[in-house]
Structure 1
Amino acid sequence: MARKTYSEEFRRDAVELYRSTPAATVSGIASDLGIMDTTLSNWLKAAGVPIRGQSRPRPQAPSGDETPEQELARLRARVRDLEDSERKLNTERDILRAAAKYFAGETNW
């Protein structure tokens, strides 16, 4: 099997995606980008980015006896998760746009 070569820009973008998404895991980002998790781990180590453990636990579903403070904390956590997800999707979109532009320039039709 041939070894894949990734551009330096793709590597930087992948590392930045992991760095900017606090709830993400190495395997999650790697699978989203279509690369091996060990490859991403190596790029993170080379960039000096510490690899996090599992993502933070998800808040439980709301219960009927929730105090206003608990509800506020739960909703803030949900907003934080949604913002993290949006940031990750925007970064992935930008990476895919750059990759499409790169590969469109390689075609010799």
Structure 2
Amino acid sequence: MGTSKYSPEFRADAVALYHSSSGGTYASVAKDLGVHHETLRTWVRDAEQAARPGAVEATAMEKENRQLRAWVKKPELKREILRRAAQYCAAETSW
């Protein structure tokens, strides 16, 4: 994953601002901060998950699961490319 252009302090302040704004929507708070509303929503969700007991372990496991899924996906993609190439070659040679 890439690095964020927003510091952890900025993210924490943004989440705190969202929680302190009475009736403020993600869109309105995000606009004031100059970030996309989905970015702010993700930060708020991540902060709420981190506040739960056992969240550190769950977050680490979720990260590992994402990495493992990506690792498994690569050979599956290569296999699919080879399967399609074999089908193409078979179709070209059978005329």
TM-score range, shorter chain: 0.3 to 0.5
For normalisation by structure 2, the TM-score amounts to 0.46
User: Which structure's relative contact order is higher, taking Cα pairs within 8 Å and 6+ residues apart?
Assistant: 1
TM-score, normalised by the number of residues in structure 1: 0.40
